[in-house]
Structure 1
């Protein structure tokens, strides 16, 4: 009787350990950073130079 009870307890413990099965791995999406343009640093001084040149030429 003890052997039957021990076998039943072990079989119940073994089935709960494998109840979930293998899960598919979840991959995180890759993080993509937006590139910044460096032309904004030179564009503003050039635009300012054109405005100043136009103001000087109009006088």
Structure 2
């Protein structure tokens, strides 16, 4: 798995001081699995550029 940062910018709204919007590309080898439970303390979205991804949330099947 590798990550490449694409974009990072501080948010201009005074109420969001200290927060940033960031974008990166994550590259996975075919069949890769990440089984470590973790969470993100922010809004998150993903866009699959090639292939497909299956995600299981809260211990549920993908």
Please tell me the TM-score bracket, short chain as reference. Answer: under 0.3
TM-score by length of 2: 0.17
| Larger strand proportion of the pair | 2
How does the TM-score come out when normalised to structure 1?
0.18
Q: Which has the higher contact order (CA 8 A, sep 6+)?
A: 2
Higher helix share: 1
- Asked which structure has the greater CA Rg, the reply is 1
